[in-house]
Structure 1
Amino acid sequence: MAAAVTIGVSAAIIGSTVASLPPSCVSTIVNNVAYQRCGSTWYQPVYSGTTVQFVVVTAPH
């Protein structure tokens, strides 16, 4: 009897914003800009008042 396996895949859309990141993200600085890299998805922190949010960006060069 074969078991069914469902794998959830979540693609991050460039320009979308999230309020928090998974704990596995790595802080990376490229060209004096701070990013968070979570697997293959890159985020740049932005401030909305005193709240930090993260915008999905293309991988920096």
Structure 2
Amino acid sequence: MTSAVIGSIAYSLPPSCTTVVVNGIGYQQCDNAWYQPRYVGTTVQYIVVDAPR
């Protein structure tokens, strides 16, 4: 598996991801990659972001 590029979009995530809430924002952590969900209409896209602090 290649590492995720910051700013890229994923339309689905592997089942091994966990939800982590940082400063009131829910992120999905999948191994070393972090994703922030973004809703476009009724579709969820996951934006690759830096690890939140």
* TM-score class normalised by the smaller sequence: over 0.9
Provide the identity percentage: 55
Question: Which residue identity lines up with residue 30 of structure 1 in the other structure?
Answer: V
Structure 1, unmatched stretches of 5+, are 1-8
| The structure with more radius of gyration | 1
Post-superposition CA distance 1:1-58 (Å, at most 9, x none): xxxxxxxx41100000010000000000000000000001000000111100100000
Aligned structure 1 segments of 4 or more residues deviating by more than 4 angstroms: none
Structure 2-normalised TM-score? Answer: 0.96
- Are 2:38 and 1:38 aligned? no
CA distance in 1, matches of 2:4, 2:10: 10
Query: Which is richer in strand?
Result: 2
Question: Which residue identity lines up with residue 46 of structure 2 in the other structure?
Answer: F
CA distance in 2, matches of 1:38, 1:31: 19
CA distance in 1, matches of 2:32, 2:3: 10
Structure 1-normalised TM-score? Answer: 0.84
Structure 2, unmatched stretches of 5+, are none
The match for 2:10 among 18, 21, 27 is 18
